[in-house]
Amino acid sequence: MPHDWLVSLMRNGILVDTAERAEPNRYRGYRQYVVQVYQFRLLQAVVIQRRGAGLRSIRHKVVQEDDGSLWKKLERIASRAVYVAGWQAGQVRLELRGKQVVVLACKELRECNKLEARHALSEWDHSIEQQVLVGMDPEFVLLREDGRIALASRFLRRGGIAGSDGIRVRDRIVHPVVELRPPPAGEPDELLRNVRGALIRAAHVIHDRHLRWVASGMPVRGLSLGGHIHISGIELTNEVVRVLDHYVALPFLMIEDSHSQRRRPAYGCLGDVRRQPHGGFEYRTLPSWLVAPQYTYAAIVLCKLAAVHSGHFKLRAWTDGTVQEAYYAGDKQALLPIIRQLHEEWLSLPAYAPYSKKLIPFWKKALHGTAWSWSSDLRETWKLFRYQSQP
């Protein structure tokens, strides 16, 4: 029988290769790393150098200043591996194969007093009360009448509040996606106004009225769209991420369309977070909730409250493999009893009360597993036609 950690990693779309011991020469040209992580933070990474057909002892320690991009990649993959295995701290053996990072082995670190002490010396200062800000960079695409994508770069430059975002197609970079980058805000209503302002900005420059503006998770096969949420002023921990996965990602799965299911597990994985230069982190699991204002508002409110009040929530069904399987299979019927429990916990949170009335339409769909309309034109749901410039 495979190890429990191996099953969890494979279920969550993490690249795993445990055949390396049986075939030590198979990837002789690749470099391996032994990485220790705790609470989504890389504490130590060391290089294992190959000699002939085998491995020799540790060559040198990798420090963040050596290669910031490599440090972040090792941190992200190893942290997520430990997280989906259900551990607080762990040691992961990784191999860098071109642009891919593959997990070769993974073990829990139960005796992590030293890790905890080093973590306590991090830059985070619990004694300083910080304002919690929420930002975002949701995406949508422009569709022609025949269903093909029109490049966003025809109308938008790469930067700005409303810009284009690139993907690699074979050996070149194209920019088919519209990405919004509204100013962050502390209050959900203010951030919702900022999102609308970014959409209005896009309407002023996208003058082709024949193009449909479409969001959701994967409105066009092969092109995944995200509704990434940025949170600062909250420490990134396993507990915070697990609450976001339970109390935000699961309800949003209940209103996703069947097309969005195609993006997982390559995208939309549980526990998909990245630290950001602004000092906070980015939660990347959700699809693009720009489908309508009610979903955008729900994403803002639920993500902020889940992060700020993570200690309030008690349900931890995510650690059950059957719940993970239902999530990746899009089995709404299997998740429905859990969603009802989640909803009751949300209603019991005092900080949720000011937003509860506006979120009734969202929960009505989530509690019945009713999918949003992925083909809805954002200009209709956000009432943007009057802002769209003529050619």
Residue 66 is part of a domain; what is its CATH number?
3.30.470.20
Question: Which pLDDT score, from 0 to 100, does residue 59 have?
Answer: 52
**Of 72-76, 275-279, 330-334, highest mean pLDDT:** 330-334
8 A C-beta contact, residue 232 and residue 328: no
Domain hosting residue 57, numbered range: 4-120
Domain assignment of residue 125, yes or no: no
pLDDT > 70 in the chain, percent: 83
Same domain, 39 and 140: no
Same domain, 93 and 152: no
* DSSP track, 295-315: HHHHHHHHHHHHHHTGGG---
Distance (Å, whole) CA 142 – CA 189: 27
Cis amide leading into 265 (omega within 30): yes
- Binning pLDDT at 50, 70 and 90, where does residue 390 land? low
Mean pLDDT of 272-280: 87
Mean pLDDT of 256-267: 90
Question: Which pLDDT score, from 0 to 100, does residue 322 have?
Answer: 85
Same domain, 139 and 249: yes
Does position 21 have pLDDT exceeding 90, yes or no? no
Name the average pLDDT for the chain.
86
8 A C-beta contact, residue 252 and residue 287: yes
Question: Which pLDDT score, from 0 to 100, does residue 321 have?
Answer: 79
Same domain, 137 and 86: no
Q: When comparing pLDDT for 22 and 150, which is higher? A: 150
CATH of the domain at 159: 3.30.590
Does position 19 have pLDDT exceeding 80, yes or no? no
Q: DSSP assignment, residue 160?
A: S
Predicted confidence (pLDDT) per residue in 293-321, tens digit: 999 999 999 999 999 999 999 876 656 67
Question: Which pLDDT score, from 0 to 100, does residue 120 have?
Answer: 46
Number of separate domains in the chain:
2
Same domain, 111 and 148: no
- Residues 6 or more apart from 187 whose CB is under 8 A from it? none
Same domain, 272 and 340: yes
Distance (Å, whole) CA 16 – CA 75: 16
Predicted confidence (pLDDT) per residue in 59-113, tens digit: 556 555 556 688 888 899 999 999 999 898 999 999 988 888 999 999 999 876 5
Domain assignment of residue 128, yes or no: no
Same domain, 138 and 46: no
Does position 165 have pLDDT exceeding 90, yes or no? no
Task: Please give the sequence-ordered ranges of beta strands (E in DSSP) within 137-185, or none if there are none.
Answer: 139-143, 149-150, 162-169, 172-180
Domain assignment of residue 32, yes or no: yes
| Nearest CA-CA partner of 328 in 12, 6, 3, 5 | 12
Mean pLDDT of 223-231: 95
Same domain, 59 and 185: no
Same domain, 156 and 238: yes
Helix axis angle for 4-11 and 321-329, nearest 10°, is: 20
Domain assignment of residue 192, yes or no: yes
Q: Which of 120, 155, 185 is the last residue of a domain?
A: 120
Q: What length is written for the chain?
A: 391
Question: Which pLDDT score, from 0 to 100, does residue 98 have?
Answer: 82
User: Which has the minimum average pLDDT: 3-12, 133-142, 162-171?
Assistant: 162-171
User: Which has the minimum average pLDDT: 196-200, 233-237, 313-317, 339-343?
Assistant: 313-317
Domain assignment of residue 126, yes or no: no
Question: Which pLDDT score, from 0 to 100, does residue 30 have?
Answer: 75
Q: Which of 93, 120, 147 is the last residue of a domain?
A: 120
Question: Which residue carries 């809805």 as its tokens?
Answer: 376
**Global confidence as pTM:** 0.89
Mean pLDDT of 3-9: 83
Mean pLDDT of 364-370: 97
Question: Which pLDDT score, from 0 to 100, does residue 343 have?
Answer: 97
Q: Which of 95, 120, 145 is the last residue of a domain?
A: 120
Domain assignment of residue 201, yes or no: yes
Task: Name the H helices within 39-164.
Answer: 68-85, 113-120
Domain assignment of residue 127, yes or no: no
Mean pLDDT of 228-250: 94
Same domain, 186 and 279: yes
Same domain, 97 and 146: no
∠ at Cα 225 (378, 344), nearest 5°? 80
Domain assignment of residue 227, yes or no: yes
8 A C-beta contact, residue 24 and residue 102: no
Same domain, 162 and 116: no
Tokens, residue 298: 């729900």
Question: Which pLDDT score, from 0 to 100, does residue 252 have?
Answer: 98
Distance (Å, whole) CA 372 – CA 391: 31
| Nearest CA-CA partner of 253 in 312, 180, 318, 195 | 318
